[in-house]
Structure 1
Amino acid sequence: MLSYFKWAFLVTALGILLGAWLGWITTGTAAGTLGIVFICSVLAVLEISLSFDNAIVNANKLKHMRPEWQHRFLTWGILIAVFGMRIVFPLLIVVIAANIGPWQAVVLAAAQPEAYARIMHDAHLPIAAFGGAFLMMVGLSFFFDREKDVHWVRWLEQRMAKYATIRGVEVAVVLLVAMGFSRLLEGPEVQVFFSAAIWGLLTFLLVEVVGGLLDSSQQSLGTAAKGGVGAFLYLEVLDASFSFDGVIGAFALSQNLFVIAIGLGIGAMYVRSMTIMLVEKGTLAEYRYLEHGAFYAIIALSVVMFAQSVVHIPEVITGLGGAALIGLSFWSSLR
């Protein structure tokens, strides 16, 4: 089993060394260096705890993909996840929110981390609404499936599978939840929140449509790429949505963009290793309710993201809640 984590261990060692070097050049003291290394380690653990359900959902999608597309996602996909979401995404938010150039955003992150963190915090409302709506659609789509015949919480999931015949039921649920939380806000925040939630909903639907068109066009060409381009695109947007909460929450531990990138990048490599292990060892087939726990955790995370527009919820609680749901599903699978 340890062989699956060899790259994660290597990236961890490199990340710790890079964190120590960064700590030394920024603080010049041994205590400051150890403090930076500790923050990088905590961020890595935070990312793993928040993204374990992401690994299960990735594995659920990857098991239906052809080997070449699995390999592409686990190589190019992880590069996009680590460098795109952990470095480029926070910079892009500041570029748009502060109306400055990309290089100016990098300089701001290095020279004025407090101002950078403040801009990121101010952008949290639309990000939470967008990510919450997208992830809720992901979770509900798993349960509102009339072909689903394995149920963990039987009394609830059987009803959800039954109501899946109603067209657009998931969309209606997401809109109702978004409307409910928007009523707890005041002033211009209401429009910002609801517009971002609508965009999250539309993004999910567009990814589904575009993915279906891409895969069907490939099949018509005779490549039979079941779960190819479309699934790759879906997984990338899904990973981005999972990353929103971790990237924003990381600024509560450190205001240094580069420290955050190191910590979250280490965590992302462990998520990749867990995904590979789940696919190759057939863990999802062996533990039949593990997927259910992951998708319940996704719905819980989406509600938390919506709720964070009103009240702050520590990321530790979010991570522990998701881990508890997955742990319960694992225990039920063993029974």
Structure 2
Amino acid sequence: MTVTLHYFRWAILFTAVGLGLAYWLGVSSTDSLSGGVGFLLIGAVLAVLEISLSFDNAIVNANRLQTMTPAWQRRFLTWGILIAVFGMRVVFPLLIVVVAAGIGPVAAIHLAASEPQEYAAIIGDAHLSIAAFGGTFLMMVALTYFVDAGKEVDWIRSLECQLRRCASVRGLEIALVLAVIMAFAAILPDRDTATFLFAAVAGLLTFLGVEVIGHLLDASSQAANMAKQGGVGAFLYLEVLDASFSFDGVIGAFALTQNLFLIAIGLGIGAFYVRSMTIMLVERRTLAQFRYLEHGAFYSILLLSVIMFAQLIWHIPELVTGLIGVCLIGLSLWSSIQHNRRQSAA
């Protein structure tokens, strides 16, 4: 127990500081102690929401980090958390308002502080593009994992065996994603179709671009720098992946509060726990001990991508999205434990 808590010491410290800031922000904004308590509770709920939505992100991060050099692992876990907390939880929502409203960054900060409802409305208007981009990117991440001839372990064998056998068909995962995009484009209202298709294709091209950069760096002829350059490709991949995971949490947070600073605090706390879980999974080699845990994470990613598309048509609470991911990972963990018991008995 003590060993496990060791990985979460910084997350626990940030939780204490963050919830204290949330309470102070609430008292300052409402001039009442009850307002401070309300802000503190919302900050805690946002942190739990972020953890539930991003647990699968920690597993995927750990899987990719195992292939990186220790130096690049440290860089991702330090620079990556700064980008995740401040870039995606603060800068990203501000950039949306800057582009959508055609105002400067300072004006966007002023708008977030003085007119949070208008700020939230602008973020809501950008939900279509964000969901299309993030859903496409995450769907490619999941399908690329399953449509792989080199994949040796199957959890749901009847499905995964078929996908692995189809890996010889070039571009199959791209075709599947495009088919899903076209299906949703046909359902959406005509006024939204062009925006949806543009953002979805941008997500697809971003995934392919990151893959190309990673392969070019890995195939560099400069053997002395190969490990370092391969780390650059993996670092870029993980950063874009983190960004795609955070889209859903940032948008969903505005359903609980329109205060940008409270959102940054709550989601930032969750991001620290995701980082701590990633470190624990890498150092304790948990993925090697539980063979189906990674499968559960990628099934969760696949469903999350579909949900991001479906949210454009139907309202799906973020709590439901988080619970689906947690349940899938829990089932994969249980299956892994059962497999280990059978192996021990044999």
Question: Which of 209, 224, 227 in structure 2 is aligned with 1:225?
Answer: 227
Counterpart selection for 1:279 from 282, 286, 296:
282
SS at match of 1:146: coil
The aligned residue for residue 331 of structure 1 is: 334
Q: Secondary structure at the match of 2:219?
A: helix
Q: Which runs of 4+ in 1 moved over 2 A?
A: 214-217
Aligned position for 1:11? 14
Does 1:124 pair with 2:127? yes
User: For 1:302, what is the secondary structure of its paired residue?
Assistant: helix
Q: Find out whether 1:253 has 2:256 as its counterpart.
A: yes
Q: Whole-Å Cα distance in 2 between the matches of residues 92 and 267 of structure 1? A: 22
**Inter-partner Cα distance in structure 1 for 2:26 and 2:149:** 54
What per-residue deviation string (whole Å, max 9, x for no partner) do you get for residues 57-76 of structure 1?
00000011100000000000
Q: CA–CA distance in 2 between the matches of 1:205 and 1:61?
A: 17
Deviation at 1:223, TM superposition (A): 2.6
Structure 2 match to 1:301: 304
Q: Report SS of the residue matched to 1:152.
A: coil
Give 1:216 deviation, angstroms: 2.9
- Partner Cα distance (2:239, 2:219) in 1: 19
Q: Does 1:50 align with 2:53?
A: yes
Give the secondary structure class of the aligned counterpart of 1:222: helix
Asked if 1:202 is matched to 2:205, the reply is yes
CA contact (8 A) 2:217 2:226 kept: no
Normalising by structure 1, we get a TM-score of 0.98
Shift of 1:96: 0.5
Q: Secondary structure at the match of 1:310?
A: coil
Distance apart, 1:149 and its partner CA: 1.0
Question: For residue 140 of structure 2, what is the aligned residue in structure 1?
Answer: 137
Contact 1:95 1:102 in 2 (8 A): yes
**C-alpha RMSD of the superposition:** 0.9
* Runs (5+) with no aligned partner, structure 1: none
> Counterpart in 2 of 1:73?
76
Q: Does 1:154 align with 2:157?
A: yes
Q: Offset of 1:188 from its aligned partner?
A: 2.2
TM-score, normalised on structure 2? Answer: 0.95
Give the secondary-structure state (helix, strand or coil) at the position aligned to 1:136. Answer: helix
Deviation digits for residues 198-226 of structure 1 (CA, Å, limit 9, x no counterpart): 11000000000112223333x61513317
Amino acid at match of 1:138: V
Q: Quick check: 1:81–1:240 contact (8 Å CA) kept in 2?
A: yes
Alignment match of 2:64 (pick from 56, 61, 65)? 61
Quick one: which amino acid aligns to residue 107 of structure 1? H
Aligned counterparts of 1:47 and 1:266: Cα–Cα separation in 2: 8
* Alpha carbons 2:27, 2:36 under 8 Å: kept: yes
Deviates more, 1:188-197 or 1:259-268: 188-197
Rounded Cα–Cα distance in structure 2 between residues aligned with 1:261 and 1:37? 13
- Please state if 1:41 is matched with 2:41: no
The amino acid of 1:129's aligned partner reads A
Question: Which whole-Å CA distance do the structure 2 matches of 1:282 and 1:48 have between them?
Answer: 20
Q: CA-to-partner distance for each residue in 1:186-206, whole Å, 9 max, x for gaps?
A: 122011111111110000000
What is the alpha-carbon distance in structure 1 between the residues aligned to residue 235 and residue 153 of structure 2? Answer: 26
1:313 match: secondary structure: coil
The CA deviation string for residues 51-105 of structure 1, in whole angstroms up to 9 with x for no partner, is 0000000000001110000000000011001100000000000001111111110
**What is the alpha-carbon distance in structure 2 between the residues aligned to residue 207 and residue 224 of structure 1?**
17
Structure 2 residue identity aligned to 1:73: F
Calculate percent identity across the aligned residue pairs.
65
> What does residue 343 of structure 2 align with?
none
Q: Is the 8 A contact 1:210 1:230 kept in 2?
A: yes
Letter in 2 for 1:104: A
2:87 paired residue among 50, 60, 84: 84
Q: Distance in 2 between matches of 1:4 and 1:256?
A: 30
Equivalenced residues, count: 334
Map of 1:172 onto structure 2: 175
CA contact (8 A) 1:215 1:229 kept: no
> Is there any run of 5+ residues in structure 2 with no aligned partner, and where?
339-346
Q: What CA distance in whole angstroms lies between the structure 1 residues aligned with 2:223 and 2:101?
A: 46
Aligned partners of 1:198, 1:299: CA distance in 2, in Å? 17
Assess if the C-alpha contact under 8 Å between 2:89 and 2:267 holds in 1.
yes
Which secondary structure does the structure 1 equivalent of 2:243 belong to?
Answer: helix
